[in-house]
Structure 1
Amino acid sequence: MKRTHLLRVLSGAAAIATTALALCNQNSRRRRSRGSEDRVVLVTGGSRGLGFAIAERFAQEGNRLVLTARDVHELNEARNSLLKRGAIRSPEDVLLIPADLTDQAQAASLIEHAIGHFGRIDVLINNAGIMEVGPVEDQPVEAYHRAMDTNFFAALYVTQAALPHMLYRDPGKVAAIVNICSIGGKVAVPHMLPYTASKFALVGFSQGLHAELRHKGIRVTTVCPGLMRTGGHRHAKFVGARKKEQRWFDLAATTPVLAASVKRAANHIYRAVAQGRAEIILTPQAWIAARAAAVAPESVQCLTSLVNEFILPAPLNSGPQAPHEKQSETFREPSHVTGAPWTPQSAESLS
C-alpha cells in the first residue's frame, strides 16, 4: 500500500511538472513571436569587446543604443565604428553617457539621462566588468572589493534604477534584462577568486530576478560565456608572479580552440534575448564544465585543484610575510568601466 501510494504521489507530481513546463513553453513561444526592432537598448561596458559586439548586433536590427563606459574617448570611437560599419544610420541613434557605475548616484543618473533622451529603456544589458588574475595568497582584500563593486554592484545599481521604468512600460513593449555573467559564476576558477566570487553573486542575482520578474513581463537572461577572444585579457590585472600569470592567461584567451569568437557570442546573446531564454552558456567547453560541476562537483573541484597545483604559477606570498612586503602586481589598461572618471565637463565632448 505504501509503495502504491508513493507511486501515485510521484505520478501526480510528474503530471504537475509536465503541465507547468508546457505552460512555460507556450508563454515563451508567445513572447518570441513579438518583434525585436525599434527598441532602446542600454549596454554597460559597451565601448569595446563583447559589449561593443552586442551593441553592434542589436543596432543591425534597427534598435537604438545607449552606451556607457568611463572612457569618453572610447565611447566616441565606438559610435564612429558603428557608423563606419553601417550598424547605425546616424549618430543620433546612439546616446553616449560616460559614467562610473560603481557609484550608485551615477548609475541612477545614467538611467535618468537615458529615459529623458529616448523616453524608455526596453533592453538593459549589464556587461561591464573587470578581471584580476593571481593566486589567493597574492590577492588583497581590496581586489575582492573592486571585483564586487564592478562585476556585481554596478549591475545591481543600474538594474534597480531602471526597473521602475521597465515595470511601467508601454504594454505593447517587451522588456528584457541581460546579465553577462561567466562560466566563472558556475565553476570556481583558480587564480581568479575575486572575479569568480563576484560572478557567482551575479549569477544568483540574475536567476532570482528571472524568478521574480517573469510573470511581470520582463525577461531576464543569464549569460555565462566561457573564454572569448574579446581582447579583454589585455586589460586584466595580474598579481603575484605576474609574467607567468599573464603568459598562461593570454594563451588561453587567444587560442581559437579554447576561446570563442566575440561576434559569434554576440549573435547567440541576441537570439537568446529574442527568444526570451532564461539562461545560456556559451562555448561547448563552458557547457561541459557547468554540467559536470552540477552533476559531479567533487570531481570538478579535484580537477581544478590539480590544475592549480601542477600548471598554474606558484604564489609569491606563500610565507608568513604581510602581503605588502612581497606582493608584486601590475595594471594594464583599464577594462570596460575603468578609465577617466566621469565629470559633467567630460560629457560635453560627446555632443
Structure 2
Amino acid sequence: MVSTLKTALVPGGSRGLGLLVSRELLDRGFAVAIAARDDAELARARDQLSEHGTVKDYVCDVRDTEAVQGLVHDVERDLGPIDVLITVAGIIQTGPLEAVTLEHFRDAIDTMTYGPIHCALAVLPSMRGRRSGRIGTVASVGGLVSPPHLLPYATAKFGAVGFSEGLAVALAGSGVTATTIAPGLMRTGSHERAFFTGQSEKEYAWFGTAASLPVLSMNAERAARIVVAGVLAGKPTVLVGWLPKVAHRVHGLAPGLTTRAMGIANRLLPGARPEQSDLREGREAASGLNSKVVKVLTTLGSKAARKNNERG
C-alpha cells in the first residue's frame, strides 16, 4: 500500500545519528524507510520510531549496488516515490597507521564513499523525472581535515565530500538538490560501536572520551535537527557544530599549518603494536580497559548509546 505522505529513505537509520535523523523526519510528517545490515537492530529501531509515525525497515548493505537498487524499488513500492534521501551509513576504525590494513581502507571506502554513490544514483532517475528531490550525504569533519588515527575513515569521508559537492554542481537547475553534511563529534554513543586497532584499549580511551564530553562533542538530537533542516532547505553544505566550522576555515587559510598540527596530535596518541591489526569493537575495548576514570568521562556517551540503539 502506497503512503500519501512524503517519503524519506535513511540508509544507516537503525542507530545513532541515523536513528535521530529518522525520528526528526517522522516528526516533520514524512513516512520514513530505514535501512541497515542488521535485521535485529532494525527491528528495535522500528519499534522505537513507530510511535513517531509511519516507518518501515529494510535489510540492505549499501556496499552492494544491486541491493541498494532493490531497496529503492521496495521502498517506492511500499511507500511511494522517495522525496528525500539522507545517507548516514558508516563505520569508524581508529588506530595508528602501522596497525591499519588495506582491508580496513576497502571497508571504509565501500561503506562511506561507494555507499552514498550507490544510494544517490539509485534514487536520481525518479527524482529527476519529477524534477523534485533532496539528497543528503553525511560526511564528517574528517572529510574536511584528516584527523590522526582515523586514516581509512578520513579517506572515505573525503571521497564522500567530493562526490556530494560534485553532485550538487551536476544537479544545478534540475529541481533536485544535493547537500554535503559535515558534523563534528556528536554524543550518539557511536564510540561503543566504533572499531579500534593497535593498542585498542588506549585508542578507545581517547576517542570515547572525546565523543562523550560536552564542548568537544555536541548534542546529537540538535545535530539531527540541523541535518534535516539543511537537507530540506536544499543547502549545498551543512557544517554541524563548531569544530567543522573552525576546521573548514583554518584548513582553507593555512592548510600546511593544519597538517602540521594534526601531526603533533598524532605523536601524542598511543603508539602502534604492529602485530595487532585486528579490530576490536568499542564495547570489547572498554571491557579490556576497565578504567573507572574513562567510565566517568564517557558517562554521557554511554547514556546516548542506550538511548540511540547502539547496544543490542
Q: TM-score, normalised by structure 1?
A: 0.78
1:80 pairs with 2:47: yes
Match of 2:94 among 105, 130, 133: 133
1:106 pairs with 2:67: yes
Give matches, 1:212-231, under 5 Å.
212-231=170-189
CA distance in 2, matches of 1:327, 1:268: 36
Counterpart residue identity of residue 34, structure 2: L
Give the corresponding residue for 1:15: none
The alpha-carbon deviation at position 78 of structure 1 amounts to 1.3
CA distance in 2, matches of 1:257, 1:138: 30
CA distance in 2, matches of 1:135, 1:257: 25
Match of 1:331 among 269, 274, 281: 281
Any unmatched runs of 5+ in structure 1?
1-36, 318-324, 337-351
Give matches, 1:125-164, under 5 Å.
125-164=86-125
1:315 pairs with 2:272: yes
Match of 1:290 among 248, 254, 260: 248
The alpha-carbon deviation at position 287 of structure 1 amounts to 0.7
CA distance in 1, matches of 2:177, 2:277: 44
3-state SS of 2:91 partner: coil
CA distance in 2, matches of 1:291, 1:333: 35
CA distance in 1, matches of 2:283, 2:124: 32
Counterpart residue identity of residue 269, structure 2: L
* Bigger Rg, structure 1 or 2: 1
Match of 2:148 among 175, 190, 195: 190
Give the corresponding residue for 1:70: 37
Give the corresponding residue for 1:165: 126
Higher mean C-alpha displacement, 202-211 vs 67-76: 67-76
CA gap 1:326/1:40 in 2 versus in 1, 3 angstroms: closer
CA gap 1:220/1:327 in 2 versus in 1, 3 angstroms: closer
Counterpart residue identity of residue 66, structure 1: A
Conservation of the 8 A alpha-carbon contact between 1:242 and 1:328: no
Match of 2:262 among 301, 304, 308: 304
Match of 1:47 among 11, 14, 17: 14
1:120 pairs with 2:106: no
Structure 1: which 4+ aligned runs deviate by more than 3 Å? 325-329, 331-336
Which deviations, in whole Å up to 9, do the C-alpha atoms of 1:8-33 show, x marking residues without a partner? xxxxxxxxxxxxxxxxxxxxxxxxxx
3-state SS of 2:269 partner: coil
CA gap 1:199/1:153 in 2 versus in 1, 3 angstroms: same
Conservation of the 8 A alpha-carbon contact between 2:49 and 2:55: no
> What is the RMSD of the two structures over their aligned residues, measured on CA atoms?
2.1
3-state SS of 1:316 partner: coil
CA distance in 1, matches of 2:105, 2:95: 12
Counterpart residue identity of residue 330, structure 1: R
Counterpart residue identity of residue 212, structure 1: A
CA distance in 2, matches of 1:121, 1:329: 36
CA distance in 2, matches of 1:333, 1:246: 9
Which deviations, in whole Å up to 9, do the C-alpha atoms of 1:300-346 show, x marking residues without a partner? 1111111111x2111122xxxxxxx454542357999xxxxxxxxxx
Conservation of the 8 A alpha-carbon contact between 1:214 and 1:220: no
CA distance in 1, matches of 2:152, 2:56: 32
